[in-house]
Every structure is written in C-alpha cells, then in structure tokens.
Chains A and B, each alone.
Chain A
Amino acid sequence: MFGFGKRPAEVVADDGRIHARFLVRHAGFTLDVDLDLPGRGVTALFGHSGSGKTSCLRCFAGLDRPQQGYLQVAGERWQDSACGFFLPAHKRAIGYVFQDANLFPHLSVRQNLAYGQRRIPPAQRKVALDQALQLLGIGHLLERMPAALSGGERQRVGIARALVTSPRLLLMDEPLASLDLKRKQEVLPYLQRLHEELDIPVLYVSHAPDEVARLADHLVLLDEGQVRASGPLKDILLQPDLPFAGEDDAEAVIDGEVCGHDAAYHLLHLRLPGSEAQLRLPHAALPDGHRVRVKIKARDVSLSLQHAEGSSLLNRLPVQVDSCQALDAQMLLTLRLGEQRLLARITRYSFDQLGIHVGQALWAQIKSVSLLAP
C-alpha cells in the first residue's frame, strides 16, 4: 500500500496552481480526471456518492496509487507515472481529515495532535499548536481520550491534527457527513474560520450543496468518475446546463461587505462590489467592512420594469439581464448586479408580458436573503 519511495518531492516551476491527472480503473468503476485548480482557497469536489470524489481525494493524498497519474502542488511534483515517480503518502506535505475523524484510539487528544507535529522538522512548523487549539476550540479537551469525545469534538480534533503538520494542501473527506445537523452547525463555523485565517489550499469533498455554498470558492463537479464542470463557485452555480441552476432550489451566491446596522429594525446593511445598491437582511450587527457571503434563491427573485413603491419587500435592486434560458413553463434568467450575478426564475408568461430581453435594465425584488458566512 505505501511503497518505499526513496526520492523526495521534485521541485518544478511554481505557477501557484495544483495540477492533477488521475486514471484509476477498478472493476465497474473508472476515475479519469484532469484538473487545474487554484493554489489557494477552498475547492469543493462535489458529486453524488459513487461519483469518485473520495477516490480522487485518496489519489491526491497518495493513499491510493492510480494506474496513471500526475500531481503537482505548489511547485512540487509528487507524482508522475510517465517516469514511474510516486511520492508515498507519508512524504507528502498534506493534511487529511477523514470522514469519521479516524483518531488514534490509544492516544489522548494531546498525543493525537503531537503525532503528526513531531514528525515534521521544526523549521516547517508554521501552524502553532496554540493557534490550532484556539481556531478549533478544543483547548479544554487535550487530556481526554478519543472515546470520550462527541462526534463533533472528534472531528475538530481531527482537523487540528491535520493542521499542525502545516500542510501545503489540506484534504477533507466529507468531514461533516458523519455528524447530525446540530453537530454540523457546531463544526461549520470552525471550517469557515480556517478558510479566513489560514492560507492553506483546501480540497473539500462533499455531497451537501449547503456546505459547498458556504465554504467553497471553486467547484469541481464529478459524475461517474469524470469531471463535468470545474470553475469558480459563483459561475458554476449559474450555468443553466449544470444541475445546480436547473434545479428547483437553484440559488446564486454573492459576496458583500457590511456597511451598517439598523438597530431599531435589526437589519444588517451590505454593500455589493460594483453596485450602488445595498442589500438589507435581518441579522445581528457585524463590524463594518466585514466580508460576508449570502445566497439568494432563484425563486425568491421577482422582476419589474419600474421601481415599485409600496411593497413589503426589503430589497429592490437595479439589475441588467445577462442571459435567458427556457425551462418548460419557466424562464431562468441570470441578472447582473454590479460585478456579480443573480438567478431569477419567472414564468414564461410574465417573461413575454414584460418583453424581457438580454441587456435590459430591470428591478429585482428579492424576497429573502440568507447569510452563509458570518
């Protein structure tokens, strides 16, 4: 399983990206992917179970050896089957978070954390233990044994254990899948902080659209071992030929910046890049300038030709029609809002009545906005 690689990672020209090509053939399953991924931020590997997400992640880690493979991370080549080069898992600077945490049952939390950390040279220790403890809120658990932890705590320890090896690439295999909804809510904010506070690229395997919308910057859609789409999350969510925009609860994800809070009405004001308009949503106050991510469902957006006064809807924003796509009785529109885009779903009847065409300026009325990342 682990091969004894004698050679270290090969240094190659660093283009700040991750290049990966894997071909894995089992009976009844083929994984054949060719990926060019950004070397920063969170990339979600998304797909149904059996789509090859975990197989793909295991290839990145070196836990499985594909028949053919090439992998280059941050200017280091880890694998190149063309010249028979394969860096075994224990020589790759990765952190791996397993679906079920996979802590060592015979070691305390402290010893679990130390296991990986003391196996890397001190000069390479960029993430301090204290930082990881604080980031994941597990300082009080150090002397416990894994069997005495809850599922959510175990998963947080698993993440911290991977982080303190200061990986160049953090691989997460559905870290929330084994948790119930409450535990998920407990762990998610920690994952978001990770994203904000550490500059480590993350590959995040998931089949939960919610998690992906909250955490990912880049999205790879896998289907039966093939890459169906790969690109920035916001763009992929809007592509009408992909399952996201085509589905009933299609949604757009947009970024905003906190620019005020109306304490009397408990409303948070967000500035949107490239737009005069502000978004308002019911939420507790957040510091000005704080960047947040919100999602807006296509079915919560209605359109009008004029700025409609006397409506109960909070948000009426000027938009421009970017594209139109017919879906049976309905039309799916993408709308330009400053530098970002929204999705709207309206009936074909209304579409024809309003005479909507690409490039037209309209008012979008938004029924509800939900905050994804505080």
Chain B
Amino acid sequence: MPLSKNDLDAILLTLELASLTTVLLLIIGTPLAWWLARTDSWLKRPVGAVVALPLVLPPTVIGFYLLVSMGPNGFFGQLTQSLGLGTFTFTFTGLVIGSIFYSLPFVVQPLQNAFEAIGRAPLEAAATLRASPWDSFFSVVLPLARPGFITAAILSFAHTIGEFGVVLMIGGNIPGKTQVVSVQIYNHVEAMEYAQAHWLAGGMLAFSFIVLLTLYSGRSHKMRAL
C-alpha cells in the first residue's frame, strides 16, 4: 500500500471539505449571483469586485485576514466566542469558512453568467402564465441555468481540493482535522518522501484532468442540444 493512514485521512478530509464547501456555496452563491445578474443598484460593481477578489489575491492574503478576524481578538472570533462556539482557527469549520471565501467566484460567476444569459423574456412569459416569482425561479430559471449550476459545482469542488495557502494559514497541518491532500504533499516533500508525494500529486493531476475533461465535454453536449 503506497498510501499511509495519514494520506488516506487527508484524502477523505479533502473530499469532505470540498463537498461541504460546494453545497454551502451553491446555497449562498445562488441568491448572490441572482442579485448580481438582475440588479441595477450601484452596489452591483463593488460587490462583484469583492466576489472576484480571490481570483487575483494570493491565497496567503485571504488566509491571513481570515486568521486575524477569526482569531481570539478578531471581530468574528469575538462573535463566535460570545456565542459559546470558541474560535474557528485551526478547525475544520474554519477551513470550510475559508474555502467558501476562496471558491466564491468560481460559483458566483458561472451562475451569474447563466442567469444573465436567460434574460427577462422567459420570466415574463412565466409571469403571464400565472407563475409567481418563486414558482418561475424553480420551474424556469433552475432548469434553464442547469449547465451553469453544473459548471459552478464542478469548479467549486475542484478548486477547493486544490486549495493550499488558505488552508495552511487558517487550518495549519493537523492530521485528520485540517491536513488536506495539498498540505500532505508538502509534508512529504519536506520529509524527502518523494515516492509518496508522487502518489498524491499524480492522483491530483489525474483528478483535475478528469474534472476538466468532464466539464468541457459537458459544454459541447449542451451546445449540440441547443
């Protein structure tokens, strides 16, 4: 068996983190993307820019600010302490929160594009056919935006799996708790365990390739269907 127990734990933890982050991001990202796609408010551009920040910032910067704000003296840390939840730094919950920020643009942007592409016309048709706004969201927008949701979910999952800097900053390197695959590869390399690093790194490479391949074939399917 080329993988140690720590390696397997790291793989499971990574998958758990990516799944949970993706589910939460779809819940948070959908209304945010909907608002960004529909609003004429002056807030649209600033909010859009904030959502896109993780695309350009070094992950260490995001990690650093999250670490400070979630720490015992940070605003968020004091809030969670006063609620009796302790602090989230160096915990799995902290990792999930960090990943949500880190992968936010990968969910919001494809969804926003999908919603914008749908336009107002199908919603107006739905309204003249007696569908309330909620009803038309579920019966018209969700099915029409399905390719956008699939892209968002895949990107969020894959991007969270590839996360390194944010994890290291706010999660540390605690086996079974915050030690994810990317960090584990780093550990192996530092310990000169190149064989094990190869197994994990090669696995990541294969996984990423398959994800992107799925994504691109999914896209061309959609084109043909239209």
Contact = CB atoms under 8 A, between A and B. Distances in A.
A90 B131 contact: yes
A102 B120 contact: no
A106 B125 contact: no
Interface string B122-147: 11111111111101100110011000
B121 interface: yes
A119 B143 contact: no
A147 B226 contact: yes
A2 B130 CA distance: 12
Interface residues of B, number: 21
A102 B132 contact: no
A115 B131 contact: yes
A161 B129 contact: yes
Interface string A22-37: 0000000000000000
Contacts of B131: 90, 115, 119
Nearest to A147: B226
B143 A106 contact: yes
Contacts of B140: 104, 106
A162 to B, nearest CB: 7
A338 to B, nearest CB: 42
Contacts, number: 70
Given A106-B143, A106-B144, A147-B226, A90 B132 contact: yes
Nearest to B130: A119
A2 B133 contact: yes
A90 B140 CA distance: 14
A171 B124 CA distance: 13
Given A115-B131, A116-B129, A119-B130, A89 B139 contact: no
A94 interface: yes
Contacts of A115: 126, 129, 131, 139
Contacts of B144: 104-106
B93 to A, nearest CB: 36
B205 to A, nearest CB: 36
Contacts of A61: 128
9 contacts: A1-B123, A90-B128, A96-B125, A105-B226, A106-B144, A115-B126, A115-B139, A119-B135, A162-B128
